[in-house]
A and B are shown apart, each in its own frame.
Chain A
């Protein structure tokens, strides 16, 4: 157990202590006890920057199930460290924010911080682990803790709906990802990601390559809310705002991005990866931003904006795969660098925007932009925060979003020159979709900002008297927006320390030895096409925003029935109804139907295997000759059987059964089994007497003696069972392969057990064990009958 393992597991350890603190120390907000941990962890990971910047990695193994190759292998490289810094950094700010956001008196703080810490630990585990099974374990822990956090206000129906939806979708993805990991394991024989990267040639030549790729990507896409799995994210906005800020903008939804980045060295050389990742990303970018414009709830706008921005990062990671195909990789490598850069930028501005929206919600009581307006002068600090966040998201200078958006355009323009996988014919789609998506991004950023803060103040629509938030609530978003501005003016403080090591972990195969990517982010790169594109975005965006009320009707054109949410809801209820229907068709509640299934199954399996294996044989060589007694007794038995089956009254059937039983006893006599004959006689007498007793007590009203109804299925099934059993007995009899062990008993019954009656000696001595349990069965039966009759409960639940 190294300090790294302790760091990853420490949130779980603290989560055990929190309920105690929340219960016993009521005067201090529980959040203060939580806050120190992410700060400490942030400092701990911050000190590793130098190591990864020099190209170093840290690996520590803690054995868990070594016999299966499943070990808790912590591994820190540039990419993992970047995510760890995001998780702990934003985690600290979110905890600080939540202290002021959640009321100590009204909310249950214990569960909140337990779930949050659980999530933090799980997320650290996901990004800092080299073993895919352990990664999967932490991955599902993030899903579960996210489920708990979304459903935090569990008394609201919408929270429960959102939590269930996100659970179903992300667990679906998680399970398919596990399938992908297992396929990768069958190819490489190792659960270690390092090992998989080393065996990339083996993987890409294997038949499981495409299934593994698709399964892993489904996992990544569901978690990162890519098209068409994004639908859970807008509904997850029912969570408390700190949770939305932390999980659903900065960390968890980027776990999918992390997986895509992490498995780039394994899969990215193939055309399938390139097309699936970049196309899904760019479509998600467009669709998310297009839909964000029509939302009226601030958090829904931000949710769709997150979807869109994640699509953007995803498409850049996909496009970056082109770098693998060229010697001059720097030309396409810009996409990967832009992806990493935008990942950081998005975490900063989206975190601050969520916190700002949380403040607005907290101070006005609503998040509906139709009710809000004119808050600019009432909440100046929140306004400034939102302004910086929104402008950065829209890609305007002087904020960091501008830089990454320019790099995004650069990479999208450059990809049109890529001449593999049909990109040269369809590649023009990338810059076009990117540009249209950016226009919509611009529009919703303006909606977010000006519908909330511009216009007229309408106090009559608000639940509370609007006022500025307390300072504690403002600290975290202020820190984040300061970073937004700092990263614009000094982007290169990130370049070599964080972006370059992260990029080299995504594309490790491109570098020889001590070589490093040249990452230098320019604030100004001349009058390039990218700049004209941005100017175009702003021009068209302003125009579209001003005429929004005129073309808003476009959204009404799209039928409500065809949305993915409708599809999800109807498929869920359809699944429920369908499975209910299917179950109802065969679970009829009638015993006779179940018996038909059992017997038909018996006929099909036994008869079928007799037919298929050719197991039937007929051989009478060893059989004894048939005497007159056997013939007569058989005739009697058959007659009695027919009487029983076709009897008109039940009494006849009972007597018929008795005849069969006594004939059987006679068979035992002529086959020389006196003990069996004696027992059979007495048992038959008793059971006939019991049958008569039952017959006597049949209810009088409904009892009409009539013969059994004839049903064709029943006749067929019973004839089938009889035939199969007969065939089976004949085959078994004619295929005796081994000598009977009876001779041993005959020789030894007197010598070893002192008895001449072999049957009795076998029963009590050689195999007394069976007899012991048979008499136990008898006692249980007697107790059962005694219990059923004597200890019956009356209708009122009282004893009789």
Chain B
């Protein structure tokens, strides 16, 4: 395939702004998950799509320079976190994957609910990001 030199100024400029908005939206989806539509899965997909946008506007190498991350490790860490939250409940004499939650008064945020289920969801989030990015990068690099 012939490489055509193109000028992507508009795309790249829009990407610089849009990818951060998407990223923020994905964080919102993730944290809102317990009470509103959203959660680890959809949040992870959104994060991945913001990264994909970067990939589209720039090239693989540039993105890898910005984010020098091996996404297989991300997926592995996510899986590890999810399994650990399950095993963690053994420490309290509970059954595998029993979750707990409570309300705390945190500085800045005020009265906040903290749940171990969110930890599990972080695992899901990382796995989804890792898996999606691994697949896309692997296929993309094949050229």
Contacts and interface: CB of A to CB of B under 8 A. Distances in A.
Interface of A: 674-675, 678-679, 682-683, 686, 690, 693, 753-757, 759-761, 763-765, 768-769, 771-772, 775-776, 778-779, 781-783, 785-786, 789-790
A755 to B, nearest CB: 4
Given A678-B38, A786-B134, A772 B97 contact: yes
Given A764-B121, A785-B135, A789-B138, 16 more contacts: A754-B34, A755-B34, A757-B36, A759-B39, A760-B33, A760-B34, A760-B38, A768-B86, A772-B97, A778-B127, A781-B135, A782-B135, A783-B134, A786-B134, A786-B138, A790-B138
Nearest to A766: B99
B117 A789 contact: no
Nearest to A755: B34
B76 A779 contact: yes
Contacts of B33: 757, 760
Given A679-B42, A682-B46, A778-B127, A754 B101 contact: yes
B45 A775 contact: no
Nearest to B142: A789
B15 interface: no
* Interface size grouping (class) on chain B: 35 or more
A781 B132 CA distance: 10
B115 interface: yes
A669 to B, nearest CB: 11
Main SS at interface, chain B: helix
Contact of A678 (B42, B127, B135): B42
B83 interface: yes
B79 A763 contact: no
Interface string B114-133: 01010011011001101110
A471 B35 CA distance: 101
Contact of B34 (A686, A693, A757, A779): A757
Contacts of B139: 690, 693, 785, 789
B96 interface: yes
Given A756-B35, A760-B34, A786 B79 contact: no
Contact of A775 (B97, B113, B128): B128
Contacts of A763: 39, 41
Contact of A754 (B45, B86, B97, B113): B113
A683 B127 CA distance: 15
A772 B127 CA distance: 10
Interface in B40-80: 40-42, 45-46, 49, 72, 75-76, 78-79
B75 A779 contact: yes
Given A765-B99, A778-B75, A785-B135, A757 B38 contact: yes
Interface string B65-109: 000000010011011001100100000000011010100000000
A674 B120 contact: no
A782 B131 contact: yes
Contact of A675 (B42, B76, B113): B42
Best-surrounded residue of B86, B139, B142 (most CB of chain A within 10 A): B139
Best-surrounded residue of A768, A776, A781 (most CB of chain B within 10 A): A768
Give the top 4 A-B pairs by smallest Cβ distance, nearest first: A754-B101, A674-B37, A755-B34, A756-B35
A683 B117 contact: no
A768 B117 contact: yes
A768 B128 contact: no
Contacts of A679: 41-42, 45
Contacts of A759: 37, 39
Nearest to A776: B79
B11 to A, nearest CB: 17
Contacts of B128: 775, 778
B101 A757 contact: no
Contacts, number: 120
A775 B36 contact: no
Contact of A682 (B38, B45, B97, B130): B45
B79 A779 contact: yes
Contacts of A755: 34-35, 115, 117
Contacts of B96: 769
10 contacts: A678-B42, A682-B49, A757-B36, A764-B40, A764-B99, A764-B120, A768-B99, A771-B120, A775-B124, A779-B130
Contact of B134 (A768, A769, A785): A785
Contacts of A778: 75, 127-128, 131
B68 to A, nearest CB: 18
A735 to B, nearest CB: 33
A599 to B, nearest CB: 31
Given A775-B78, A778-B75, A782-B75, A753 B134 contact: no
Contacts of A678: 29, 37-38, 42
Nearest to A682: B45
B80 to A, nearest CB: 10
Contacts of B127: 775, 778-779
A761 B76 CA distance: 23
A768 B100 CA distance: 13
Nearest to B75: A779
A675 B120 CA distance: 18
A465 B29 CA distance: 101
Contacts of B37: 674-675, 678, 757, 759
A763 to B, nearest CB: 7
A775 B41 CA distance: 9
B135 A757 contact: no
B119 to A, nearest CB: 9
Given A678-B38, A785-B134, A772 B82 contact: yes
A789 B104 CA distance: 48
Contacts of A686: 45, 132
Contacts of B46: 682
Nearest to A674: B37
B39 A675 contact: yes
Contacts of B29: 678
A675 B124 CA distance: 15
Nearest to B86: A772
A20 B70 CA distance: 59
A413 to B, nearest CB: 85
Nearest to A685: B49
A332 to B, nearest CB: 78
A102 to B, nearest CB: 64
A779 B96 CA distance: 21
A781 B72 CA distance: 11
